[in-house]
Structure 1
Amino acid sequence: MAEDGTIDYSVHEAWNEATNVYLLVILVSFGLLIYARKNKRKIMRIFSVPPATETLPGNNFYDNIQKVRLRQQLEMYYISRKYDQQQNQSSADSTQLLME
């Protein structure tokens, strides 16, 4: 109440505007909730992980590394076998020299 005995309606008007805004927010929230339930797949598509086509380069990278490692292992095996054969031939040559 004001000093002259009249009621100040500005508080009531502000309260009414605030409640109108709250009611509007609640109605919009319910509308969005109903929309989300009906269109769940569309919304999930937005937040989902990209398709598997983009993950293939990562897999190809690891596959390529495994192939390179396998190739290196085969090359090292080939070199070691070649070295072993050379060692066997040199030891055979030395035994022949000893026999003569």
Structure 2
Amino acid sequence: MGGHGSEPESIDYSVHEAWNEATNVYLLVILVSFALLINKRKIMRIFTLPPTVGSSPEPNFYDSLQKVRLRQQLEMYSLARKFDQQQGQTDSVQLSME
């Protein structure tokens, strides 16, 4: 009976010890992930700095994206103007026929 009485206490102790170790591991993983995330932002900031004067400047991705978007908007505006002009011509033709 004495053996059975001390066994649950040792099981409880090992469960608590394992829980503490697992909690420590999870906290360590979270802290390391957070540190890597902060360092990644710093590293990305270093790489996004403008190039030095001596090197050839590469076009910025966002600038080229804005230019593409502006070109698309101008093309759509041009197509809309042509369509409006064609609609105006067909309206005048219909009016002249009536």
Pick the TM interval, shorter chain: 0.3 to 0.5
Larger radius of gyration: 1
Q: Normalization by structure 1: what TM-score?
A: 0.47
